[in-house]
Amino acid sequence: MRKRVVVTGIGTVNPLGNDLETTWDKVVKGVSGISRITKFDATGFPTQIAGEVKDFDPQLYIEKKEIKKMDIFIQYAIAASEEAVKMAQLEIPEELGPDVGVSIGVGIGGLPNIQYFSKIIEERGPSKISPFFIPMTISNMASGYVSMKYGARGYNATTTSACSSSNHSIGDAARIIERGDAKVMIVGGAESTISSLAIGGFGAMKALSRRNDEPEKACRPYDRDRDGFVLGEGCGILILEEYEFARSRGAKILAELSGYGFSSDAFHITKPSLEGPLLAMKKAIADAQIDGGDIDYINAHGTATPAGDINELKAIRSALGDKAADRVSVSSTKSMTGHLLGGAGGLEAVLIIKAMKHSLVPPTINIENLDPECDIDVTPNVAREKEINVAMSNSFGFGGTNATLIFKKI
């Protein structure tokens, strides 16, 4: 029999707040974290808005001399991990270190610094490149620094699968615990790519919202007038533990990670398919040993792209069946945080745990004119009280990669 996997701690840094409670308070109130870009001069760009982390002080978590060695996505991972480890009351003595792993998904990594040093080498030559350039930008250094901070000497890697990176990292980490290769895994996702290159690149694809005059209303999944996603940044971290180990140390168990499913569209680099998301959800439901009707809440991928939102709702209806789909609650918290790319699933898993604890479905904000093709309850604009015993999280990425997680109240 496979070992059970539970969640004992969570932490986050994101556009709504630099800690869990600030974030959750704003989610409950339906506050948007989207604003005009301050990280660079976006004048002249078709998109001038993003979900930036605000007032983040890395010196609260990292020694001053070390900060310059890290891209900001790494700093976010360290901060969110600290909050999660404290909540879990996790101590890692030397003898436990080999049984503790880290798996933090990152979609792109240190793109702003890659852009910056590309300019430096062109204008000033190779002698001006920082010796920290490579380790500050490569994606796996989020996991690397967290493992060093806590003496986690077990599995240490990063999954990079675009916007599915977090869910793959979390699900694969659960598998590692299930087969007995770890007792604890520090998992989730981190991303910080808000730069002229990223905004310009996604803008060239016509993937981003251009609602620059009303940033807080720009991200509007399921609304008839949605015009693309809003780029966000931040991190969401979970502490996963083998159930018996968590019990043995008296840890407070927040939820059980009971299902994980994955698939590939094998169809197109950016266009969604129905079959891929459907297969990932079906696999997760089977892995959790539940029926579709057992699912109370789904934190959807829901990026506010015209085709993607409806495609996911159709897949949900097919995966759950009509009767279950008519009673399930769905929401896209990206309407408030923007899309964290590789960090999205980590943050959304954190929010699912909070939703289960407080019996409250987060809202999808900015729905002024519901798309008539939305035939599932997407929790428009206002959070709703509801007992949540089983919840699902979907993440789908460029390249046709899909990953679904299922959490149970325990």
**Residues known to be catalytic:** 163, 301, 339
Q: Taken in order 239, 34, 163, 365, is the CA torsion positive or negative?
A: positive
Structural element, H or E, at residue 256: strand 255-264
Task: Using alpha carbons, list the distances in angstroms from residue 280 to 255, 284, 315, 320.
Answer: 21, 6, 10, 12
Of 195, 190, 45, the closest CA to residue 116 belongs to 195
HSE, side-chain direction, 13 A CA sphere, residue 238 = 35
> What is the identity of the amino acid at 246?
A
Structural element, H or E, at residue 13: strand 5-13
Rounded-to-integer distance, Cα 237 and Cα 5, Å:
15
Rounded-to-integer distance, Cα 60 and Cα 76, Å:
11
Rounded-to-integer distance, Cα 51 and Cα 376, Å:
27
Q: Determine the distance from the C-alpha atom of residue 236 to the mean position of all C-alpha atoms in its chain, rounded to a whole number.
A: 6
Q: Is residue 306 packed enough to be buried (19+ CB in 10 Å), middle (13-18) or exposed (0-12)?
A: middle
Task: Using alpha carbons, list the distances in angstroms from residue 176 to 135, 156, 186, 321.
Answer: 26, 11, 12, 31
On whether the CB atoms of residues 93 and 176 are closer than 8 A, the answer is: no
